[in-house]
Structure 1
Amino acid sequence: MTFFCLGDLMVDVVARLFGPLAEGSDSPGVISYVGGGSAANTAAWLSRVGESATFVGAIGDDAAGQSQVESLHRLGVDVRFRVDRTRPTGTCLVLVAPTGERTMVPDPGANLALLEHDVPADEFRPGDHLHVSGYALLRDSRDAALHAMAAATRAGLTVSVGAASAAPLQLLGAEEFWRMVPADALVFANEKEAGVLAGAGETAGGTPTLARALAGGSRQAVVTAGSGVAAWSNGEADSALAAEPLERPELDTTGAGDAFAAGFLAARARQAAPEVCLRDGHALAAAACRTTGGRPEPR
């Protein structure tokens, strides 16, 4: 099975703060430049656990973009990418609080350039899987993402979609998001995103209730809550599992949701039970929390 991960690739400028952000003054911290982007992160974590992963996206005509492609190759990811001659490779400022929680300031850059004909639909084979970052549906790359999902469905692939982020989802509207998502997709969301998509607020009933609210028909949903309980539902059956405590404090939660999706999808490809998929998702998310940035470090 090949996992095609379509969507964003970023250079993350990660600032790990030693204390609260001092607005209008200095806030000491440690700054790192690392690879990022939800789709690229998921592809990297899939490769880390031994799966065949192909990233589909766009970079700028710059050293940062070439460095990102080389980084993904070193992690074992195959890459299909467009080079945008006018926009730089996407960049995201990530502020990481001492608790590990992160706040992101993204500039999508070349990610906006992805077009329908950049989708390697001729490589889609029955039994493969397409994972689409929700950011691709929220930006100018929407047509490419919609084309990819339609082509994947015709070719016999399973499809999953990440919900991206609560604030832009709120601007888009839940109804528009669901209009774009295939009826039989697996949707990944955290509590805040699920609250937006369910129209039920941020914490209505916890992750099991939110997962049931997002699932139904032939659609499945996974709702995560950081170090809390993650839940899966297909609208009829449900499963929930709490994360194991980290043996040391979280350093950086950037990319933890992307890693969780990779762990869940890899287990699902082995026909594992939902409880096992949730367990493996938690395990990769914990690994991401111990890593600066959203991707595994090269071995």
Structure 2
Amino acid sequence: MSNRLPAVTVVGSINLDLIATAGRLPTAGETIGGAILSRQPGGKGANQAAAAARLGGRVRMVGTVGDDAHGQGMLDTLASAGVDTADVAVLPEATGTALIVVDAEGENQIVVCPGANSHLSLEEVDFGPDETVLCQLEVGLPVVLEAARKAQGFFVVNAAPAMDLPAELLERCDLVIVNESEYALIPALASAKLVAVTYGGEGSAIFEHGRKVAEVPAPAVSVVNTIGAGDAFCSALVLALRTGMDYAAALAVANAVGATAVGDPSSQPELAHLGHYVERTAPAMDAR
């Protein structure tokens, strides 16, 4: 596989993740002690941009951060991952923050405070015909709809967090990516043209107009942290499909990338070039 992968523009959120790692998740009204606090770069958009760049894609990030130390830190981290941050606006707002609790099995609870993400504008942003545009829903439907109208090439939405999607948006999507619970919460996806669904440790599948056309199991791994794993999967799947891989092979590669991500405590894990995962999964796919 060539080291030069497709151009991807990610439109989405950029957050500081404040992560408390505890033995278990608290129930309503409960206080749990003994947790360990860490601060990490996050946000679904930034996570996907960093993953795509580390996998070898040519990546541009469109988003917003606050004019504060956290915002500068997010920009520095994206740049160090190889992401073009020229279209990240610095605004006089607080940088978005996610408050996250993670248990010993890697499961989590998340509350997002959007901050500067709520003010993202695409007014001065253009997309070329060769760019794949990847969005999520943490920046709100109006921004995603605007991106859908302006995008000229392959357009992808990771429909998280789950919400009803307008018909106009679904019709424009070349691919929608969701997890199992999001798929159940958005009934309109059952008739969408192309939907990839992740099932955690069970693997992933692709549906065309509601008909399953590919399904691939996930590798068995020890789970350290699920934050960012779905984002790494999204980036890998988009890159794999855009390089011309068939559905099953692309799912296998994305599953392998996601498995690497859940074994890493970071929301933006270190990843090898996409070609590494292609080589790892090729023997299994050839044996089908």
Same-fold status (TM-score > 0.5) = yes
Q: CA deviation at 1:292?
A: 1.9
When the two structures are aligned, how many residues end up with a matched partner? 264
1:115 is the counterpart of 2:121: yes
Aligned partner (choices 58, 66, 73) of residue 64 of structure 2: 58
1:195 is the counterpart of 2:195: no
- 5 Å-filtered alignment, 1:1-299, equals 1-21=6-26, 23-79=29-85, 80-85=87-92, 87-118=93-124, 120-121=125-126, 124-138=127-141, 142=142, 144-152=143-151, 155=152, 157-166=153-162, 169=163, 174=164, 176-198=165-187, 213-215=190-192, 219-235=193-209, 238-246=213-221, 249-297=222-270
Q: CA deviation at 1:127?
A: 2.4
Asked if structure 2 preserves the Cα contact closer than 8 Å seen for 1:263 and 1:283, the reply is no
Name stretches of at least 5 consecutive residues in structure 1 with no aligned partner: 200-210
Task: Tell me, in whole angstroms, the C-alpha distance in 2 between the residues paired with 1:260 and 1:100.
Answer: 17
Secondary structure of 2:238's aligned partner? helix
Secondary structure of 1:193's aligned partner? helix
Task: Tell me, in whole angstroms, the C-alpha distance in 1 between the residues paired with 2:74 and 2:135.
Answer: 19
Task: Tell me, in whole angstroms, the C-alpha distance in 1 between the residues paired with 2:65 and 2:231.
Answer: 20
The residue aligned with 2:282 is: none
Task: Tell me, in whole angstroms, the C-alpha distance in 1 between the residues paired with 2:271 and 2:79.
Answer: 10
Task: Tell me, in whole angstroms, the C-alpha distance in 2 between the residues paired with 1:163 and 1:145.
Answer: 10
Q: CA deviation at 1:185?
A: 2.4
TM-score, normalised via structure 2 length:
0.86
**AA partner of residue 48 (structure 2):** T
Asked if structure 2 preserves the Cα contact closer than 8 Å seen for 1:197 and 1:214, the reply is no
Task: Tell me, in whole angstroms, the C-alpha distance in 1 between the residues paired with 2:180 and 2:54.
Answer: 26
Task: Tell me, in whole angstroms, the C-alpha distance in 2 between the residues paired with 1:280 and 1:78.
Answer: 25
Secondary structure of 2:185's aligned partner? helix
Task: Tell me, in whole angstroms, the C-alpha distance in 1 between the residues paired with 2:128 and 2:32.
Answer: 53
- RMSD of the alignment, in Å? 2.0
Q: CA deviation at 1:36?
A: 0.6
Asked if structure 1 preserves the Cα contact closer than 8 Å seen for 2:24 and 2:102, the reply is no
Name stretches of at least 5 consecutive residues in structure 2 with no aligned partner: 1-5, 273-288
Q: CA deviation at 1:181?
A: 3.4
% identical equivalent positions:
28
